[in-house]
Amino acid sequence: MSSFLKFLVSSGDANSSRRHKHPYYPQTVVVPNYAPNTLQLPMVLGAFGGAVALLMVAVVAVGKRVNKRLTWKDAGVLSWFTLCGFLHCFFEGYYVLNHATLAGKQDIFAQLWKEYALSDSRYMTSDPFMLCIEALTVLTWGPLSFLAAFAIIKGNTSLRHITQTIVSVGHLYGVALYFGTCFFQEKFRGISYSRPETLYYWVYYAGMNAPWVIVPAILLFQSTRTIRQSLSVLDKVKSMKGDSTSSSGSSIYSGKAESIRSFDGSSESKSSSRKADRESKREPSRDSRDGGEKSRRDRVAEQQAAYLRGDDGRPESIAESKYENWEDSRADAREQLRKKKTVRRE
């Protein structure tokens, strides 16, 4: 009986060792259908890195051709969003679709995920948090990254900074949750998902995620500054429009007041002239009237001639010349009216 029990215990330990035979931490985690990678790591990284670099160069070339004013600084941002869109939509999208059978696959993406999972084994166990955060990344940050790249190529500044702000905030939020969950699991539960070697913890886990902290922070600062400057300029334009509207309104009112005053003054002058005409019994002689009429006409003719010649004696403005002509025409009209009245009286 004792020998039989020993056989059961030994067989159970063998099954347990075969079941947990994988390189991931914690060592007790279950990774179903795990199969080691068949390709060497430099070959896998070289193929993936070469494809991504070729895509980024092609997109920058297209951007330079479409947008002649595209600077190299903006080209760098364009490369960044192209990289983000490719990784989010295709590489992480592959994980979301194949997370249950990822450990046993041998294609390029699967071998890359198995290699990176040495720094975070949650990718091999269909962890709910990883599935939620990766699905959100695939559905939102990936398409928005491509939209930001499109806005940079087309030179649409407003669309570019709106999407750049949203994607940058999303990246910072996602990385904070990613690092935060690992930190609290290790701090309060003593569970570490990364192997202790420097390559896996500091290069894979810390180093490969660091760009999604540094670059989004820089881009968020850039977009915030650009939006703030644009809004300040818009506020200045609105204030200038308001001042001009108020000044034009006051000028309109003052102009109306002046016209009213001038109308009152002209009416008063008319009434006074009429009273003077009624009081004066004596009419001016015909020669004096003709002489005065000729002198006014001569003066207007001289002013017009001086204005055309460009002499110093010309009126200060066209408005003054028109005003003087209008006054002369009014005086002529009064003289003619006076002549008609005298003729009727006689």
The mean pLDDT of 106-118, rounded to a whole number, is: 96
Q: Alpha-carbon distance 120 to 106, whole Å?
A: 19
In eight-state DSSP terms, residue 253 is H
- 187-203 tens-digit pLDDT: 898 899 999 999 999 99
Q: Alpha-carbon distance 31 to 194, whole Å?
A: 15
Q: What is the pLDDT of residue 321?
A: 57
Residue percentage of the chain with pLDDT more than 90: 58
The mean pLDDT of 131-153, rounded to a whole number, is: 97
Contact between 178 and 212 under an 8 Å Cβ cutoff? The reply is no
Categorize the per-residue pLDDT at 314 as very low, low, confident or very high, splitting at 50, 70 and 90.
very low
Q: What is the pLDDT of residue 214?
A: 97
Q: Between the ranges 224-228, 269-273, 304-308, where is the mean pLDDT highest?
A: 224-228
Q: What is the pLDDT of residue 10?
A: 37
Neighbouring CB atoms inside 10 A of 206's CB total 13
- pLDDT higher than 60, residue 297: yes
Q: What is the pLDDT of residue 32?
A: 87
Check residues 333 and 201 and name the one with the higher pLDDT.
201
Neighbouring CB atoms inside 10 A of 156's CB total 16
Q: Alpha-carbon distance 132 to 102, whole Å?
A: 17
- Tokens 């903006």, residue? 74
- pLDDT higher than 70, residue 310: no
Q: What is the pLDDT of residue 278?
A: 58
Q: What is the pLDDT of residue 83?
A: 97
Check residues 205 and 21 and name the one with the higher pLDDT.
205
Q: What is the pLDDT of residue 2?
A: 47
Residue 46: helix, strand or coil by DSSP?
Answer: helix
Categorize the per-residue pLDDT at 339 as very low, low, confident or very high, splitting at 50, 70 and 90.
confident
- Type of residue numbered 225: R
What are the structure tokens assigned to 35, written together?
A: 């199969």
pTM listed for this prediction: 0.66
Q: Is 30 exposed, middle or buried (0-12, 13-18, 19+ CB in 10 A)?
A: exposed
Contact between 81 and 149 under an 8 Å Cβ cutoff? The reply is yes
- 85-107 tens-digit pLDDT: 999 999 999 999 999 999 999 99
Q: What is the pLDDT of residue 6?
A: 41
**Burial call 84-121: b when 16+ CB within 10 Å, e when fewer:** bbbbbbebbbbbbeebeebbebeebbbbbbbbbbbbbb
Q: What is the pLDDT of residue 275?
A: 55
Q: What is the pLDDT of residue 8?
A: 34
- pLDDT higher than 70, residue 125: yes
Q: What is the pLDDT of residue 7?
A: 36
- pLDDT higher than 60, residue 33: yes
Q: Which among 110, 119, 125 has a CA at the least distance from the CA of 32?
A: 125
- pLDDT higher than 60, residue 11: no
Determine the length of the chain: 346
**Burial call 237-253: b when 16+ CB within 10 Å, e when fewer:** eeeeeeeeeeeeeeeee
- 35-71 tens-digit pLDDT: 999 999 999 999 999 999 999 999 999 999 999 999 9
Segment among 67-76, 241-250, 280-289, 336-345 with least mean pLDDT? 280-289
Q: What is the pLDDT of residue 89?
A: 97
